[in-house]
Amino acid sequence: MPHYYIWTIGCQMNKAESERLGSLFEQHGYQAATTAEQADVIVLNSCVVRQSAENRVINKLHSLKPLKKLHPGITLALTGCLVDSQIDELKRNYPHVDHFFKPGEHPAWLETAGWQQTLPRHPSPAAFVPIMQGCNNFCAYCIVPYRRGREMSRPLAEISSEVREMALSGTREITLLGQNVDSYGQDLPDRPDLAGLLGELNAVEGLARLRFLTNHPKDMSTRLIEAVARLDKVCEQIYLPVQAGSNDILNLMRRGYTVEHYRQLISEIRHKIPQVALSTDVIVGFPTESEAQFRQTFDLLSEMRFDTVHVAAYSPRPGTLAARKFEDDIPTAEKKRRLNMIEQIQEKIATEINARLLGKTVEVLIETRKKGKWQGRTRSNKLVFFSGRDNHPGQLVNIRIEQTSPWSLQGSLN
The nearest distance, CB 135 to ligand SF4, in angstroms, is 3
Site membership for ligand SF4, residue 216 (CB under 6 A): yes
Site membership for ligand SF4, residue 339 (CB under 6 A): no
Single out the segment in contact with ligand SF4 by CB under 6 A; choices: 123-131, 138-146, 269-277, 327-335.
138-146
Ranges assigned E (strand) in 95-224: 99-100, 126-130, 132-133, 152-153, 173-177, 209-213
Q: Which residues contact 144 (CB under 8 A, 6 or more apart)?
A: 49, 81, 134, 135, 179
Residue closer to ligand SF4 (CB basis): 135 or 197: 135
Residues 62-81 that bind ligand SF4 (CB under 6 A): none
Q: Is the dihedral of CA 212, 400, 409, 206 positive or negative?
A: negative
Residue closer to ligand SF4 (CB basis): 30 or 257: 257
Residues 139-158 that bind ligand SF4 (CB under 6 A): 139, 142, 144-145
Site membership for ligand SF4, residue 53 (CB under 6 A): no
The nearest distance, CB 310 to ligand SF4, in angstroms, is 12
Instruction: Give the count of beta carbons closer than 10 Å to the beta carbon of residue 202.
Output: 15
Q: Considering only residues 18, 179, 246, 279, which one is a binding residue for ligand SF4 as defined by CB under 6 A?
A: 179
Q: Considering only residues 171, 180, 215, 296, which one is a binding residue for ligand SF4 as defined by CB under 6 A?
A: 180
Q: Considering only residues 46, 79, 137, 183, which one is a binding residue for ligand SF4 as defined by CB under 6 A?
A: 137
Burial 379-403 (b: 16+ CB within 10 A, else e): bbbbebbbeeeebebbeebebebee
The C-alpha atoms of residue 265 and residue 231 are separated, in whole angstroms, by 19
Site membership for ligand SF4, residue 407 (CB under 6 A): no
Burial 272-308 (b: 16+ CB within 10 A, else e): ebeebbbbbbbbbbbbebeeebbebbbebbeebebbb
Question: How many residues contact ligand SF4, by CB under 6 A?
Answer: 10
Nearest to 363 by CA among 392, 387, 390, 384: 384
Q: Considering only residues 91, 138, 351, 403, which one is a binding residue for ligand SF4 as defined by CB under 6 A?
A: 138
- Interacting residues toward ligand SF4 by CB under 6 A: 135, 137-139, 142, 144-145, 179-180, 216
